[in-house]
Structure 1
């Protein structure tokens, strides 16, 4: 008789490990082994979540941060994709601009944050620009690498058969770069939210970054952890959506 082994998906193991960690955290806080002032406890974080949900503040500030991150992701992703494709398809241009792009990417975004505030104020434009800068380079470098990963023999074969430059781009380079684009989306979603939060740290009166900063100044650890947990869950859900897109659009692989 065949023996059937019981197996669980990685997601179930992740959920069990998270649940175990939360239970140990709650037990340690209840037993006095964890300082509530520094680490709070899961039950207090949950109570904070329910309070913010009931008074509407969570939805209000999430909407602000979501709009900033969404605009930054959209424009940063589009511009980064176009820049990566152009630099990848133009070897001379790519070699000339890549050192500059590498240097700009290595520049801490907080270093130019004050300039962004001076130029664009503390409104939506500044936060979206900060998010867009975070996303732009992720798309640029991934698409640039994606173009260079295309089989050169395949490109040569298409050109030998009379394929135009446009056909090479649309029929060979773009499909081959699609996995790199989707990988950029997975990375860019988190970076867009990070950029929006960083922008709100620099100057804002609303948004999740402002809530976290305000709570931290009052040593309200429960509210800080509540906001962080909400953002983590949102990023995980968005990553799941991109995974579904990968399965849908990369079936041909």
Structure 2
């Protein structure tokens, strides 16, 4: 069976070919006005993106607001989830007490908090950041919590026999174990941070890419809607790529899947 190696030229060529097929099919189908009304036209979508970035340059202010909200929510939610996950993962008593409350908070549809955050923090960026933090926090928290709880008791016993105290256990055993779980959650958290920021802009804002999309929906301008989605997706991929780069640098000690198979 033909196998494609990760990162190879064949893989990139297949990915590019799939993109061409999707865009080509979209272009052909959009020649029907009825389909174009609901799904837009790729050339007009690209024209809108070009005008935003090159001709008019009016996207930069809105994009800067959305990216600021996203990055702040991503950082705050990640740090809070990491600290809280470590605390409850190491403290059985606190975990047992807070478990039903954490489960209840995670089960709550966070979108309903947007109006409350709007009243608390106003219609500026902080109400959007607060909403996005609630999305990022639980993803990171549960992964860190699980990573700490998954540490092998045998490994802990061996470390204690070698004289490791609680601080050394945290640094050399618990944190490395949790780090791999953290990075697996961060790739999801990037998208959720964007979701929280854009949803917050939907519910009350005068700037941001979500605001531009909302205005376009009000006038049934589907091409602008898809242009906004394209811009958000592109920058989400950029942030995800940065997370992946940091992950590769910090997780050099972890064997890759190909190396594991060789072993």
Bin of the TM-score, shorter chain as denominator length = over 0.9
Alignment correspondent of 1:96: 97
Count of aligned residue pairs for this structure pair: 248
Query: What is the deviation of 1:34?
Result: 5.3
Alignment correspondent of 1:204: 205
- Conserved in 2, the CA contact under 8 Å of 1:28 and 1:34? no
Query: What is the deviation of 1:9?
Result: 4.3
The question of 1:114 aligning with 2:123 is answered: no
Instruction: Give the TM-score normalised by structure 1.
Output: 0.93
Query: What is the deviation of 1:101?
Result: 1.4
- Conserved in 1, the CA contact under 8 Å of 2:111 and 2:131? no
Separation (CA, whole Å) in 1 of partners of 2:13 and 2:96: 46
Separation (CA, whole Å) in 2 of partners of 1:10 and 1:127: 38
Greater alpha carbon shift after TM alignment, 236-245 vs 198-207? 236-245
The question of 1:130 aligning with 2:115 is answered: no
Alignment correspondent of 2:69: 68
Alignment correspondent of 2:258: none
Separation (CA, whole Å) in 2 of partners of 1:64 and 1:33: 35
Query: What is the deviation of 1:33?
Result: 7.1
The question of 1:155 aligning with 2:167 is answered: no
Query: What is the deviation of 1:11?
Result: 4.0
Separation (CA, whole Å) in 2 of partners of 1:11 and 1:137: 34
Separation (CA, whole Å) in 2 of partners of 1:138 and 1:42: 34
Alignment correspondent of 1:47: 47
Instruction: Give the TM-score normalised by structure 2.
Output: 0.89
Separation (CA, whole Å) in 1 of partners of 2:139 and 2:97: 19
Alignment correspondent of 2:224: 223
Separation (CA, whole Å) in 2 of partners of 1:134 and 1:209: 17
Alignment correspondent of 1:172: 173
The C-alpha deviation readout for 1:36-62, integer Å capped at 9, x for no partner, is 211111001011111111212221111
Separation (CA, whole Å) in 1 of partners of 2:78 and 2:151: 21
Separation (CA, whole Å) in 1 of partners of 2:50 and 2:152: 53
